Amino acid sequence: MQPILLQGRPAFSEFRIASLTNALNETIPEHDIARIDAVEVYLIESEAPLDDETTRRAFTLLGAEKHFERQNQLGGFFVTPRKGTISPWSSKATDIFHNCELSHVARVERGIHYILTTETGLVLSAVDLGMALLALHDRMTEGVYENLGDFFQHPEPAPLRTVPLMAEGPEAFARANMEWGLALSPEEIDYLVAA
């Protein structure tokens, strides 16, 4: 089911926006960014549309201002926790929703929607920013997305894989490390084999 998107307040102060604009223009001067619009966005996972009372309470709990409408009109992109992960903020916010008797809300998450506009009025995509995008997100914990329609997907877990350590010895761990992309150091492999 599509997440319910609510729009919150501006994500940054004017000072922070000016600082981000300067940093981006130093990194990618060819785009000449004139304006950064960044608003908080809240994603709600629910099995059914929210009734009026639940919607009112969700707006109050989150400090949201309206249903999210910006993307269809203006473009831009989202920065949220990576799809498939649950942020600490989400865990706490979902607990608060459940404690406020909004138990049919399965999960709540937050992110930021960015619209970057050049001096010529062009709205930039995340791809246009290249490596400068690193100024707007932490790639270890966050992802950049144009669409959040699949944000709360619950894919089937990958099948269990085992390492035939007893039959093949430490070489089996080294092979699994390469084939599965585990990035284990030789010391870590030795530790796991010994354990």
Helix residue spans in 28-143 (DSSP H) = 52-62, 70-74, 88-99, 126-129
Give, to the nearest 10 degrees, the angle between helix 52-62 and helix 88-99. Answer: 130
The predicted structure's pLDDT at residue 74: 66
pLDDT in tens, the chain (195 residues): 679 999 999 999 999 999 999 999 999 988 899 999 999 999 999 988 889 999 999 999 999 989 998 655 567 999 999 998 999 999 999 999 999 999 889 999 999 999 999 999 899 988 889 888 888 999 889 999 998 989 998 778 888 999 998 899 889 988 998 988 888 898 998 898 888
Q: How far are the Cα atoms of 77, 109, 128, 154 from residue 85, in angstroms, in the given order?
A: 19, 10, 26, 11
The predicted structure's pLDDT at residue 98: 94
Name the one residue in this structure whose structure tokens are 């997305």: 145
The predicted structure's pLDDT at residue 72: 55
